[in-house]
A and B are shown apart, each in its own frame.
Chain A
Amino acid sequence: MSSGAAAPLAASVDRQRGPWTFVRHALVIVEIEARKLRKDPTELLMRAIQPALWLLVFGQAFSRFRVLPDPSVSYRAFLTPGILAQSITFVSIFYGISIIWEMDMGLLQKIITTPIRLSAFVAGKMCAASLRSLSQAVIILLLALVVGIRLHVSLLSLLGVLFIVLLGGAFFSGLSMVIATLVRTRERMMGIGQLITMPLFFSSNALYPMSIMPGWLKVMATVNPMSYLVDGLRGLLILEPGAHYGLDVGVLGCAIALMWGLNVLLYPRILSA
């Protein structure tokens, strides 16, 4: 072979290093999602129907059982953060389906051959998915307001709620992306999603306070990440005493970091398929 390859070629674009590039690239991935959501918000509106039923029908009926230790809090107000957490979980846990779809098409492969780092790509996708959760939060809070559920609303509490919603969305969509790399087909992803959503929901503190749970369920609720999501949201929205914000944010943050790391490890496997 000739010695034709003398000096290495300078990149046509040479600004691809450092933490700022990481953030810039991740934001482009978020931008793609945001542009698509703006064009077609039907899916998000449809997804808001189920939580509405929970609040309006289940909430109404169940409030007659008086399960809450504190009689001054209405059950519907107690339930609202739980339903919000449920909605975040459900909208996020199926995010892997769209990842598999984009992969089957070839879109992800093309994106990953641009100078973006895989770690930035995964972070971008997890943030993009939590954007969808954010829209659910806005719809559910508005709905609660319209039907006269009394929540604690201040600028600070709202910002706190949105922050925790973003954390929850990022975690559950990250989890969904991990599952997507393992199951690889949309059908299986759908099945697994269905399989885990209800147990997650019922074994958390979304519907009833931890204090009335039997011992075994308490254990499950403690290891269920959804409980921490609910705890944070409930503390902010109905000023429930004894919310553990630090713990909630810490657990969700660690869980997000874990999912991010797993995805960075797992994605090369499927992108080359």
Chain B
Amino acid sequence: MQDDPAKPDAAEVIRVQHLEKRFGEVHAVAGIDFSVYAGECFVLLGPNGAGKSTTIKMMTGLMKSDGGSIEIGGWSVAQSPVRVRSLIGYVPQMLSVDGNLTGYENLLVFAKLYGLRRSERTERIREILERFDLAEAADRLVRTYSGGMIRKLEIGQAVLHHPRVLFLDEPTVGLDPVARKGVWEHIERLRHEQNMTIVLTTHYMEEAESLCTRIAIMSRGRIAALGTAQALRAQMGQPDASMDDVFAHFAGRFEQEEGGMRSVFRSRRTARRLG
């Protein structure tokens, strides 16, 4: 990968070097390098099985890498996992709030896990409930929430401790357009008001283009292209191409053998639960 010309001036928050992951014969992530800078919204695009989720899981420490290194805020994910986890928030693709607890309780237990002091806790929980328009529903069981409310609560839960980096795996999958827009507005506000760095995966090209600063297109475990939407078009030689064309140009030329039943099942189920 060439050094990216559109690299922002801000400080480097994430540095990924020669990152690798193998599943048996499959080279799911085949030695990738990239950096993410403070206040960026960095998106990983790619077909199912391209290695996006695997990359995010390795960055959050859920999965061990087979080679290479990841540093977040200057700390190695492999060597200082607990330190790194206090700097990040993670919203998995699947449902990650407890339906049998109220919205308030879901926030409370996470505030405790993040080690917030009692006085901070009350304040942060109130802040999140107001910021995500959940104050009125705070004492209702989460299983009575709508899909959009659940997603907002999940994001709120992940930013209680004001993390430096927020990881979102398919944050808008299965949401209706109105809820999707709401979720995006909240992510944007977190970025602008708290200078939070956002790293996410999505399938929605328009979202990737209009909201993210840089796009990394992954294909077969490699980064096929990385840059702003404009830079990617320029690289392709078609300045007025749609994002779908850009995506197809860099990623879509081969059939993807991975993904399969399990990933289809998982994404549909997530969609159903949220919807």
Contact = CB atoms under 8 A, between A and B. Distances in A.
Contact of A115 (B15, B109, B114): B114
Interface in A7-40: 7-9, 11-17, 21, 24-25, 28, 31-32, 35-36, 39-40
Contact of A5 (B74, B95, B105, B158): B74
Contact of B73 (A8, A28, A31, A109): A8
B200 to A, nearest CB: 15
Interface stretch (B41-49, B60-68, B205-213): B60-68
Contacts of B92: 106, 109-110
A26 to B, nearest CB: 11
A28 to B, nearest CB: 5
Nearest to A1: B35
B7 interface: yes
B93 interface: yes
A36 B94 contact: no
B86 A32 contact: no
Given A106-B92, A106-B93, A106-B95, A114 B85 contact: yes
Contacts of B10: 4
A116 interface: yes
B82 A272 contact: no
Contacts of A1: 3, 12, 15, 33, 35
Listed residue (A40, A104, A272) with the most chain B CB atoms within 10 angstroms of its CB:
A272
Contacts of A116: 113
Interface in B47-105: 57, 60-64, 71, 73-75, 82-83, 85-98, 100-101, 105
B71 A5 contact: yes
The number of chain B residues touching the other chain, given as a range, is 35 or more
B94 A106 contact: yes
Contacts of B64: 268, 272
Nearest to B62: A272
Contacts of A28: 109, 112-113
B163 interface: yes
B95 A105 contact: yes
A2 B12 contact: yes
A246 B95 CA distance: 45
A9 B35 CA distance: 16
B86 A271 contact: no
B15 A5 contact: yes
Contacts of B94: 104-106, 109
Interface string A196-217: 0000000000000000000000
Nearest to A110: B96
Interface in B2-24: 3, 7, 10-13, 15
Contacts of A105: 94-96, 273
Contact of A9 (B15, B37, B164): B164
B203 interface: no
Contacts of B271: none
Nearest to B93: A106
A49 interface: no
A2 B7 contact: yes
A2 B5 CA distance: 12
A15 B114 CA distance: 9
Contacts of B114: 13, 114-115
Contacts of B63: 272
Interface in A77-136: 104-107, 109-117
A146 interface: no
A105 B100 CA distance: 13
Contacts of A40: 100
A6 interface: yes
Contact of B162 (A12, A39, A104, A115): A12
20 contacts: A1-B15, A1-B33, A5-B12, A5-B15, A5-B73, A9-B73, A9-B75, A16-B82, A16-B83, A16-B86, A28-B112, A105-B273, A106-B95, A109-B62, A109-B94, A110-B154, A110-B157, A111-B113, A271-B62, A272-B64
Given A110-B90, A113-B88, 5 more contacts: A4-B35, A8-B74, A9-B164, A113-B89, A115-B82
Interface of A: 1-9, 11-17, 21, 24-25, 28, 31-32, 35-36, 39-40, 104-107, 109-117, 268, 271-272
Shortest beta-carbon contacts, A-B, top 5: A106-B94, A4-B12, A8-B74, A9-B73, A272-B63
